[in-house]
Amino acid sequence: MIKINKTIEVVRSSSALLNSLTLVSAKAVTALLQQHYARVSMTDVSTPADLAALVARNPDLVFLGVKFVPTDVELGMNDPHKVWVAEYLSDNGIANTGSNQYAHELELDKSLAKQRVYAAGLATSPFYVAKYDVVQYKSDMVLQFPLFVKPTNRGGGAGIDARSVVNTRTELAAKVQSISSIYQADSLVEQYLSGREFSVAILKKEDKPGYAVMPLELIAPMNEDGARILSAQVKCDDTERVVEVTDIVLRAKVTKLAMSVFTALGARDYGRIDIRLDSKGIPQFLEANLIPSLIAGYGSFPKACMLNLGLAYEPMILRIVRLGLMRQGNRGQDAPELDSVGGVLQAV
């Protein structure tokens, strides 16, 4: 087979905290692309120097698996001067897969994403942010138990377990303290949604305008408290059941919310939007993942593509790459820098 004369670098980090693309995902993507493109390699980008070296090599496309690199390694995710990879590449005329800095900043902080969604008039459960290392007993708290607590800036179910659903102030304080201690992160405290959970894969079409919006229902095993929670362990073990959404009315509501959220966050090309029903059956935005897991047969994004479109792993990855290559040479044409959304510490 004659390979396409392009240079592609699949970028991830040696730091687990910086990675959005796991090593397994990165290896799978690299191996697949090596069958189709002339020069494909996997690159470690963990510092601004690594990023500068990447730009100096001037690849045709970067398959993005890292959203940012810190200028201070010790601060890591908390570095206020972090360098956003997509923006840096765009400024240097190098195309990347997926979204830009604007969307990545929102996605990285779940409270910012929820506030943006709320400001756009879309449904998301009321919430506030419990700041890192600050004990918060809100005597005037308007939210009612049960509540759900998770880190504001972690993905893959990190920090989510049976203790994420809290029913008392004592349980709330304990979970917030646990997240503060283990992850050095703020906690997102939101009204618990008791209904069914959905993961919606979104992938831009190539042959015509628009996106394919592909929902799945995810049914986690019931835990000892009788709740179905997509915890880090459940996601790692891949033990949740995946069910096609056949109810026409429900499917329409879930897909409409997912696409509206994707647009509100400024996302592009592909990503995943997670949604859960409230006690009245109304879909509510949970969180976004704009660099979802890309392992064949694992994770909801590839499964959604297969179940909804019959789109197998190989053509799915190749489409993501082609969408990125369409922006090749577009220097500095990403969305404007994220402005303030305000009010993230208040229940909404």
pLDDT band at 347 (very low <50, low <70, confident <90, very high): very low
Question: Tell me: the pLDDT tens digits for 102-137?
Answer: 999 999 999 999 999 999 999 999 999 998 766 555
Helical spans, DSSP H, in the chain = 23-34, 48-57, 85-91, 101-108, 110-119, 169-183, 232-237, 248-264, 300-309, 313-325
- The residue among 233, 306, 221, 292 whose CA lies nearest residue 262 is 292
CA 146/CA 128 separation, integer angstroms: 14
Residue 150 is predicted with a pLDDT of 93
Helical spans, DSSP H, in 35-109 = 48-57, 85-91, 101-108
Percent of the chain at pLDDT above 90?
A: 67
- The residue among 43, 40, 322 whose CA lies nearest residue 207 is 322
**pTM (whole model) above 0.75:** yes
- Is the pLDDT at 10 greater than 60? The verdict is yes
Question: Tell me: the pLDDT tens digits for 240-254?
Answer: 788 999 999 999 999
Which residues lie closer than 8 Å to 242 by C-beta, 6 or more apart?
A: 216, 217, 218, 300, 303, 307
Distance set, CA 190 to CA 106, 134, 234 (Å)? 17, 17, 21
Quote the mean pLDDT of the chain: 88
CA 97/CA 31 separation, integer angstroms: 17
Residue 338 is predicted with a pLDDT of 41
CA 117/CA 154 separation, integer angstroms: 19
Query: What's the angle, vertex CA 179, arms to CA 174 and CA 181, rounded to 5?
Result: 90
Which residues lie closer than 8 Å to 147 by C-beta, 6 or more apart?
A: 165, 166, 172, 189, 190, 191, 192
Which residues lie closer than 8 Å to 50 by C-beta, 6 or more apart?
A: 43, 44, 69
Question: Tell me: the pLDDT tens digits for 67-106?
Answer: 999 998 777 777 889 999 999 999 999 999 999 999 999 9
- The residue among 125, 134, 230, 242 whose CA lies nearest residue 181 is 134
